[in-house]
Structure 1
Amino acid sequence: MGIYEERGELVKPKRKLFSQRTPPATSKSEHQVELLYAIGGLSHGSNVSGVECYNPLDHEWKVLGSISRHRSSGGVASLNGSIYVVGGYDGVVCFSSVPRYEPETNSWKRDVAPISEAKRDVAVAELGGYLYCVGGYDGLLCLSTVERYDPELNRWCRVASMNRRRRGLGLAVLDGYLYAVGGSDGCSPLYSVERYNPAEDRWTPCSPMRTCREYLGCATFQGKIYAVGGRDDLTELRSVERFDPVANEWSAVMPMKSKRSKVSLAAANGYLLAIGGYDGTVHVTTVEAFDVEMNKWRRFGNTQTCHPGGGVTAINTAPCDRETPQVVRSR
């Protein structure tokens, strides 16, 4: 295993994606909109994906530049206007470093403290002004450990470990709790789900999913947790289920149009979007949007590049700041 530090490098502009035919998801109002950022990814051919931004007002993805170092299978989450990429893998070694991306300047920073151990296949989410890094794989073992990042102290600390070891898990925030969904224990995909209470620093079991899933997409949307795609014991999945915290149960919803493992799921601007993933043959760029009322998925354009093992997160921005960042040099 090895621990690598990032080195700043020139962020090169790429060509602009053509506009899609689908109408914009959000009208040009005085309300805030959420920009989606797809970060990183590394294919077996050492092809490296950079940073893409989706603007709902224009309904298009733009490539902004490169990531600070070749990296996949890291956790991606936003906190206080910055995007953090936690841990990951370059095809040879795992990382403990945490590069921070500033959307306003389109630059990468190296000022974040590393996590305690190098690992990949982690899940990361923001809760209560902290980042939580959950589970993962250190190159030898599947992990149950959890670390919390305090941005004011610039420090990670251990909190209570999960009851199960999990890599390639989903992580969602709902009603002040963290939910660790599925994943793999290092031997097989999991049905199980557990919930973290930060006030008690304790994980408790929840109702299991109907399908075992690893490398799934997971997000909270309209008060429910969605688990989409992933992989079971045999193949990539297009099935979808959602958790109702009131009923305390999972129920099936309409499957996606495409099979997708390592899919990114994001809730933004009133949409639930399944972005990219692996369909069992190739890494795809297609995006699907879920219509809750119609209980169906529809095509929602494409990213410009694939992001195998990358992540997606949202950043709030005011309409006056709707232009995506200009390309600058990383610092």
Structure 2
Amino acid sequence: MQESIRCEKRMTHNHRLDRVPSANDMCWVGGLSHGSNVSGVECYNPLDHEWKVLGSVSRHRSGVGVAPLNGSIYVVGGHDGVVCRRSVERYEPETNSWKRDVAPINEAKRDVAVAELEGYLYCVGGYDGLLCLSTTERYDPLLNRWCRMAPMNRRRRGLGLAVLDGYLYAIGGSDGCSPLYSVERYSPTEDRWTPCSPLRTCRENLGCATFQGKIYAVGGRDDITELRSIERFDPVANEWSAVTPMKSKRSKVSLVAANGYLLAIGGYDGTVHVTTVEAFDPEMNKWRPFGNTQTCHPGGGVAAIKLAPYVRETSQLARNR
């Protein structure tokens, strides 16, 4: 109880937050800048309200898809600075180690979107170095196999992918010529994509997450500039509506729902890759500064996952050395 009180005081003083987050952690994985400054694995501990570097990535690449499944964080595809990759790896937070026991996807690609639905991983869209793709692949962890599913109706790279009410939503992205307004929904029982209500603003390299029963499309880039605007999809009304914009423009932003907040992490503001984090408080209907990561992760991704206590202790010891 005393530790919770101390945590509440520290969070309120530093960021004017009025409640203590639950103990869910986030890991930000991978990324590769043009200067070959490689990002590793960072973990956010809500009890300390700090990002801590846990270690390096196994293979250096950007444009990866990142999603949690069965306690691991999967990193799919990407670009190693020379070619697009088929390889898939998983990071085990509890042992702070990388495993290469995952079957590769069927085609090498970057700028993909990955999400977990009903115990499977879905890898959607991307860019193979020549063309934008409409393909959908599904990973079965029991069989350790990727299989091709029905393709999307549009080719998309840099798209958002969200899960809501048992469906996958592919949102925006680029067809290789221009950013897209269009949205489509995948039914796993029918293995079919169908068109949905379009975005109000075309967006590629956006952040996307489901939060409190609605889908948020955050930032990205239109055909002119990086964006700080937000849209929210209500499945009951079947429409997108504008939400309070972020304080900063963010393309290639990572978006995750955790601890009662929607967190926009990193991204590119049109000049530099940033390390700042913003939190959307639904009760206040506003975005607030939420600290900084230790490094920028261009082309990486974030997943929310429960970390064992000794993982936090190990990362703290490493940081103090």
Query: TM-score by structure 2 length?
Result: 0.92
Question: What code does the residue aligned with 1:235 have?
Answer: T
Q: Aligned partners of 1:240 and 1:95: how far apart in 2?
A: 31
Q: Aligned partners of 2:147 and 2:314: how far apart in 1?
A: 33
Q: Aligned partners of 1:22 and 1:86: how far apart in 2?
A: 34
1:191 aligns with 2:181: yes
Give the superposition deviation at 1:22: 3.1
Give the superposition deviation at 1:323: 2.4
1:14-58 deviations in Å (ceiling 9; x for gaps): xxxxx9723788748xxx621100001111101100000001111
Q: Aligned partners of 2:172 and 2:157: how far apart in 1?
A: 9
**Residues 34-73 of structure 1: pairs in structure 2 closer than 5 A:** 34-73=24-63
Q: Which residue of 2 aligns with 1:4?
A: none
CA contact (8 A) 2:214 2:234 kept: yes
Q: Secondary structure at the match of 1:165?
A: coil
Structure 1: segments with no counterpart, 5+ residues: 1-18
Q: Aligned partners of 1:295 and 1:26: how far apart in 2?
A: 15
Q: 1:23 to 1:94 in 2, by over 3 A?
A: same
Structure 2: segments with no counterpart, 5+ residues: 1-9
Give the superposition deviation at 1:317: 4.4
Question: What code does the residue aligned with 1:56 have?
Answer: P
Q: Which residue of 2 aligns with 1:12?
A: none
1 or 2 for the larger relative contact order (CA 8 Å, sep ≥6)? 1
1:224-261 deviations in Å (ceiling 9; x for gaps): 00000000001000000100000000000111000000
**Residues 84-123 of structure 1: pairs in structure 2 closer than 5 A:** 84-123=74-113
Q: Aligned partners of 1:324 and 1:173: how far apart in 2?
A: 33
1:253-285 deviations in Å (ceiling 9; x for gaps): 111000000000000111100000000000000
Instruction: Give the CA RMSD over aligned residues.
Output: 1.8
Q: 1:158 to 1:149 in 2, by over 3 A?
A: same
Q: Which residue of 2 aligns with 1:7?
A: none
Give the superposition deviation at 1:141: 0.6
Q: Aligned partners of 1:26 and 1:110: how far apart in 2?
A: 39
CA contact (8 A) 1:55 1:322 kept: no
Q: Which residue of 2 aligns with 1:153?
A: 143
Q: Which residue of 2 aligns with 1:130?
A: 120
Aligned residues: 306
Question: What code does the residue aligned with 1:190 have?
Answer: L
Q: Aligned partners of 1:58 and 1:304: how far apart in 2?
A: 14
Q: Aligned partners of 1:251 and 1:324: how far apart in 2?
A: 42
Identity %: 82
Q: Secondary structure at the match of 1:293?
A: coil
Give the superposition deviation at 1:316: 2.4
Q: Aligned partners of 1:26 and 1:298: how far apart in 2?
A: 14
**Residues 1-331 of structure 1: pairs in structure 2 closer than 5 A:** 21-22=14-15, 27=20, 33-317=23-307, 323=312, 325-326=314-315
Q: 1:293 to 1:52 in 2, by over 3 A?
A: same
Q: Aligned partners of 2:16 and 2:115: how far apart in 1?
A: 30
CA contact (8 A) 1:265 1:275 kept: yes
Query: TM-score by structure 1 length?
Result: 0.89
